[in-house]
């Protein structure tokens, strides 16, 4: 139920290396583009685990029977850091419907924080395959909150949770708080450490800020 993509040598690791690199991160456009490329690779990998049916296609010289998707997955993401990664999925699953969830950290004066849900725009997901993506899985709280919000809009047939970077603690949090019977977790790279402020180490920093500018 948990698949770590970096274990298999591929160009994915090159893109992950670049989004981690503090020097390359200075180019926000390249940072976003690399996340899109990673999303494309994730989408292709996950597509191998979807259902297909034969379709008769008329060519200029005859007919061909081609296996095509039975149905496109619904693509869901957590704003705002998840947007470039999500766009990569949309490049592949170009006919997919989409869902967007906004979750943010509310910081307390003592340095603690809670995850608050601010906004959700969700299409029909009942008995459909859903791909829920975010760039980072740090504490895991945002992902759990987002998934539970999706469930208020329907019961997915299967959910693929896709994250570029995850902390080991965050993965354990998700496993503890969600039933993984109908969930597959796809991880680009797994880091063992996390700071007291729930930033992944070595991680890459704040993905939303790197992609779209520092929030105030």
Secondary structure (DSSP) of 76-113: EEEETTTHHHHHHHHHHSTT--EEEEEEEEEE-TTS-E
Assign a CATH topology to domain 2-212. Answer: Rossmann fold (3.40.50)
What is the dihedral sign for C-alpha 154, 114, 20, 176? negative
In angstroms and rounded to an integer, the radius of gyration of the C-alpha atoms of the chain is 18
Residues 104-143: tens digit of each pLDDT: 766 555 655 667 788 899 999 999 999 999 999 999 999 9
* pLDDT value of position 198: 83
* pLDDT value of position 134: 97
**Distances in whole angstroms, Cα of residue 178 to Cα of each of 148, 150, 173:** 9, 13, 8
**Domain map of the chain by residue range?**
2-212
Q: Give the list of residues 6+ apart from residue 181 with CB closer than 8 angstroms, or none.
A: none
Q: Region 203-209: what's the mean pLDDT?
A: 94
Answer with the residue of higher pLDDT: 27 or 80.
27
Residues 186-195: tens digit of each pLDDT: 999 999 999 8
Hey, is 22 helix, strand or coil?
coil
What letter does residue 73 receive in the DSSP assignment?
Answer: P
């Amino acid at each position: 139920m948990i698949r770590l993509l970096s274990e298999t040598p591929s160009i994915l690791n090159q893109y992950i290396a670049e989004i981690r690199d503090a020097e390359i991160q200075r180019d926000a456009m390249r940072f976003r583009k690399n996340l899109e490329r990673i999303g494309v690779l994730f989408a292709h990998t996950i597509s191998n685990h979807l259902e297909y049916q034969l379709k008769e296609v008329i060519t200029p010289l005859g007919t061909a029977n081609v296996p095509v998707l039975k149905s496109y997955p619904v693509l869901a993401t957590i704003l705002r850091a998840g947007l470039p990664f999500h766009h990569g999925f949309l490049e592949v699953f170009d006919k997919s419907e989409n869902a967007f969830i906004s979750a943010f950290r509310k910081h307390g004066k003592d340095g603690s924080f809670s995850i608050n849900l601010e906004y959700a725009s969700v299409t029909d997901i009942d008995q459909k395959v859903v791909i829920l993506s975010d760039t980072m899985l740090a504490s895991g709280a945002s992902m759990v909150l987002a998934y539970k919000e999706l469930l208020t809009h329907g019961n997915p047939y299967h959910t693929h949770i896709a994250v570029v970077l995850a902390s080991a603690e965050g993965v354990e949090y998700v496993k503890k708080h969600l039933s993984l019977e109908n969930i597959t977790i796809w991880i680009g790279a797994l880091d063992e450490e996390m700071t007291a402020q729930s930033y992944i180490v070595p991680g890459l920093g704040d993905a939303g800020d790197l992609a779209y500018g520092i929030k105030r």
